[in-house]
Amino acid sequence: MKMKYILLIAAFITMIFSFGCNNNVNEKTSYLQKIEIENNISYDQILNTRGSYITSMCYTMTQDESLESVSNPCYSCHTKGIIPNYYNDSPLQESYNFPPEMMKNPFSNLFKDRSIRVSQISDEEIWTYVRQSNYIDEKGNILLADRLPKDWEGYIPDCYFNFDSEGFDRDINGNYTLWRAFRYYPFLGTFWPTNGSMDDVLIRLDQNFAMSEDGQLDIEVYKLNLAIVESVVKQKDINLSVTVDEVQYGVDLNQNGILDSSSIVVVATYDQMSYVGMAKKLLEEKKIHLALGLYPENTEFLHSVRYIDWDENLGRIVLSKRMKELRYAKKYEWNSYSAIARTALTETKEAIVNGTDEAVLATFRGDYEYGLNNEIGWIYQGFIEDKNGLLRPQTHEETINCMGCHSHLGSTTDSTFAFARKFEGIDPDANDYGWNHWTQKGLKGIKEPLISYFNYGEQYEYSFYLQNNHSGNEFRNNQEVQEKFFHSDGSVKQDMLEALHQDISLLLFPSKERALELNKGYKTLVEEQSFIYGRDANVLPMENVYTKIQAEQSTQIEQVIVR
């Protein structure tokens, strides 16, 4: 009798537990099903292609018959990596080496004429739209965090985009979230505001990097560890904004062999460098790692992609409140140099089929909730506008679109782009100070960066791109940049390049009229929810783009450009 009573209690507890779990499952399922129905999308099914990690830009026609010249936008992504990036995809500058499944261009949005719908959107309507936040409500709460189901196991947004004078994000109570904004040189082509979007990037290290050795939150420790990580990742010396007492931290930052004071982090071998605070202790215990060119475990990035707003008082573009996308990345595991090298070698071997160099369609483990894995320790997940302009989780297929740029490129630094391009000014009042958000300081007056290329020497980065691509983007359809920087015969205007050396916003910022057109063009994609067919904000059909690639097709590019 007693045993029967115990069994009945156990069954009742199991029933209650199961009921609660089923409610959670149903909540998430109902949430996703509602989004699927409203937006005519599928979270699990592939409706277009598994190969969308090959971006729409890769289908550009490099040979321009009207100018009888060859454009090379390809080198910006496809190049020889800097160790520990063991990828060398520079041969992709010379040929369209796509998997057979991707020979036909799947990005049909490139060829749509959106001019009629765009003409129906008034200027007032689009300005009102982009100036409404779809991330933070009037009380400062994060809308998406409140809407996600309670059992959502992927990243839940926790950045308030409320920055102090040092770029640190604070929650509604003024507490540190440990997210820190930084300003950087926008990557070539597509990522320039003149080509469709503005964006920002934030970094967050594991909380142990913000702790003193006795486990207390110490923001000075965190700032110093961020500088050390910057030195490690960039593999170069990084100047500090303040002079640091090395004795206090027990670390020889300037590598002079003694503990004194230092205003610089000097790059050295992994066994000579160290983090500070709790991270130093964990490094000594081999619970975390340090290696040149790599971020430590649990490093996170947050990347918001935005519309282009216009400030009448400034007379130039600014970051919109509305987000097009919110992208998230986390380094969930450590990979040694040898493991990363093996991954790159394995991929190369897998791309050889039956003795040929035919490319093979890549696959990525994961899903829309947890994110997709890039095989060298990073996971990527994202949110995008739904039909009503609210942020929703990206589908599995939409997330695949992120993976090519963060997996197989020689141009990345430990799978990422922005932090390696961070400004390095040390005066908080100067224009080139790096630890700010774009809403605090913009791009106006930033000088053009100098970059060393293996076979071209030191070059102004953006000018070099214009001279080799003969245009301001991969598709060569940015007429505004064309008229501003090029003569009618296609030759570059040298006086404009000289001006660009002193202020990159001359190239990167669109006019108010172009900003309006780009905003309206993208708004039609949101209404259609057709992101799997391309996310480019074109209004008119693209002309310099292939609808189909032929086997072994050459780009006609004769001189490969490598860093």
Q: What is the pLDDT of residue 2?
A: 40
Neighbour tally for 100: CB within 10 Å: 13
User: Which residues of the chain have a pLDDT value below 70?
Assistant: 1-25, 65-67, 347-357
Considering the entire predicted model, what is its pTM?
A: 0.93
Q: What is the pLDDT of residues 2-46, one digit of tens each?
A: 433 333 334 333 333 333 444 445 899 999 999 999 999 999 999
In DSSP terms, which residues pair with 486 in a beta bridge? 492
What's the CA angle centered on 344, arms 206 and 383, to 5 degrees? 45
Q: Which two tokens stand for residue 204?
A: 């967050």
Joined tokens for residue 227: 């500088």
pLDDT for res 543: 93
pLDDT, tens digit (0-9, with 9 covering 90-100), for 106-117: 999 999 999 999
CA atoms of 108 and 267, how far apart (whole Å): 47
Evaluate whether 380 touches 403 at the Cβ level (below 8 Å).
yes
Token pair recorded at residue 136:
């933070």
Query: For residues 528 and 542, what is the distance between their CA atoms, to the nearest angstrom?
Result: 19
Copy the structure tokens of residue 323: 């987000």
Six-digit token string for 12: 């009742």
Nearest residue to 410 via CA among 460, 453, 456: 453
370 Cβ contact list (under 8 Å, min separation 6): 153, 154, 379, 381
In contact, 141 and 160? CB cutoff 8 Å: no
Q: Are 414 and 145 in contact (CB under 8 A)?
A: no
Sole residue written with tokens 């008034």 = 122
Structure tokens at 440: 């605090």
Please name which of 462, 343, 328, 502 lies closest in space to residue 407, comparing C-alpha atoms: 343
CB 148 within 8 Å of CB 32: no
Q: Which among 477, 129, 446, 448 has a CA at the least distance from the CA of 310?
A: 129
pLDDT of residue 349: 52
Distance CA 404, CA 409 (A): 7
Q: Which amino acid is at 330?
A: K
Cis check: omega of the bond before 84, within 30 degrees of 0: yes
Instruction: Report CA-CA distances (Å) from 456 to 57, 95, 284, 301, 453.
Output: 24, 21, 42, 32, 5
Query: What does the DSSP assignment read for 291-315?
Result: -TT-PPTT-EEEEEEEEEEEETTTT
- Pair 471, 71: CB distance under 8 Å: yes
Please answer whether residues 372 and 403 qualify as being in contact, where contact means their C-beta atoms are separated by less than 8 angstroms: yes
How many percent of the chain have pLDDT more than 70? 93
How many C-beta atoms surround the C-beta of residue 361 within 10 A?
Answer: 14
CA pair distance 13, 374, nearest whole angstrom: 41
* Tokens 């308030």 found at: 160
CB atoms under 10 Å from CB of 4, counted, come to: 8
d(CA 458, CA 2): 85
Strands (E), 339-425: 366-367, 371-373, 378-385, 391-393
Query: Within 133-218, where are the H helices?
Result: 143-147
